């Protein structure tokens, strides 16, 4: 029996490889210097979905919500082996918190349809909320398994999954469809495949085609869309009007989370304390660390 998967992915700033140019001296961030990457655990989620496809057959479709630039990660999904990708992008979706995001993603998943499994990374390295996956499952009205590490069994319409919990793991069984969020140890993402990359490198989403037509008045967006689609190079794009959504529940308007204040922290070396390399010195150091709540 084959299983169709939908994978949720996000483009995030590369917070693991900050160059000196990213942080300004006043503690603010220079976004232009921050490279955007495929959220690492989302890439693992795609790998898990592709492994399900390799083993049982079925289709792997990917959805990303974000600015036009998020098309980059969708192309990378195609390079890895995704069958189809979808961009959810509209100014009206901008500024969304986890609730507004999961609301729109839930609608996008319904529109893409025909799925047995929804995979997502546990959390994105920018927000670190780990809420979008669970909230999406709630809104879809399907069960969820978070922190998944391994698909133990998949038969008929039941899946058995091992998930990581504090101090150990537990094994859960669920009917399909189910939403699963995975952690990094679930799989090692496969590399981009050279042949797929060359064949799909010109895949473009609607806002990217828009930019091409803006630069060339002889081009018409509908023709261009058709041309790309006929070559299998169009990344279907959903805007607010394409989805069955209430605009008031989208983007900033639909987000109860408000940023109260942003505090810029300048990290710099401050005062220091010396500890003697003796047994007593080490004891003092440990006491100090515990006292300052760095340990324990």
Could you list the residues that contact another protein (CB under 8 A)?
A: 14, 16-17, 35, 37, 79, 190-199, 201
198: CB partners within 8 A, 6+ apart = none
CB nearer to another protein: pick between 6 and 37: 37
Report d(CA 150, CA 162) in Å as an integer: 5
CB nearer to another protein: pick between 24 and 201: 201
Report d(CA 289, CA 45) in Å as an integer: 38
In this structure, the strands spanning 178-182 and 11-13 are unpaired
Can you say how many angstroms the Cα of residue 222 is from the centroid of all Cα atoms in its chain? Answer: 30
Closest CA relative to residue 104, chosen from 253, 4, 233, 287: 253
CB nearer to another protein: pick between 4 and 71: 71
Least gap, CB of 6 to another protein (angstroms): 23
Strand, coil or helix: what is 131? coil
Rg (CA), the chain: 22
CB nearer to another protein: pick between 79 and 115: 79
Q: Are 189 and 43 in contact (CB under 8 A)?
A: yes
CB nearer to another protein: pick between 160 and 192: 192
Least gap, CB of 51 to another protein (angstroms): 12
Strand, coil or helix: what is 153? strand
Least gap, CB of 215 to another protein (angstroms): 17
Least gap, CB of 14 to another protein (angstroms): 6
Report d(CA 67, CA 102) in Å as an integer: 16
CB nearer to another protein: pick between 16 and 215: 16
Least gap, CB of 79 to another protein (angstroms): 8
Least gap, CB of 12 to another protein (angstroms): 12
Report d(CA 16, CA 219) in Å as an integer: 41
């Amino acid at each position: 029996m084959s299983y169709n998967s939908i994978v949720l992915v996000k483009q995030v700033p590369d917070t693991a490889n900050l160059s000196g140019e990213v942080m300004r001296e006043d503690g603010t961030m220079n976004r232009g210097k921050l490279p955007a990457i495929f959220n690492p655990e989302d890439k693992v989620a795609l790998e898990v979905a592709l492994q399900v496809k390799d083993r049982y057959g079925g289709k792997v479709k990917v959805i990303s919500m974000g600015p036009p630039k998020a098309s980059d990660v969708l192309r990378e999904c195609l390079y890895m082996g995704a069958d189809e990708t979808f961009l959810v992008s509209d100014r009206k979706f901008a500024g969304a918190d986890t609730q507004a995001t999961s609301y729109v993603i839930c609608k996008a998943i319904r529109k893409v349809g025909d799925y047995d499994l929804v995979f997502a990374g546990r959390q994105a390295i920018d927000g670190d909320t780990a809420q979008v996956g669970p909230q999406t499952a709630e809104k879809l009205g399907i069960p969820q398994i978070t922190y998944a590490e391994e698909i133990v069994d998949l038969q008929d319409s039941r899946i058995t999954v091992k998930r990581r919990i504090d101090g150990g793991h537990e094994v859960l069984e669920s009917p399909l469809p189910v939403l699963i969020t995975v952690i990094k140890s679930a799989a090692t993402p496969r590399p981009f495949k050279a042949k797929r990359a060359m064949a799909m490198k010109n895949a473009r989403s609607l806002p990217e085609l828009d930019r091409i037509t803006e630069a060339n008045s002889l081009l018409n967006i509908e023709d261009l869309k058709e041309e790309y689609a006929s070559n299998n190079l169009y990344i279907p794009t959903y805007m607010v009007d394409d989805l069955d959504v209430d605009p008031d529940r989208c983007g900033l308007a639909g987000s109860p989370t408000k940023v109260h204040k942003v505090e810029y922290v300048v990290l710099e070396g401050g005062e220091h304390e010396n500890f003697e390399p003796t047994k007593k010195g080490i004891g003092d150091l440990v006491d100090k660390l515990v006292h300052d709540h760095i340990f324990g």
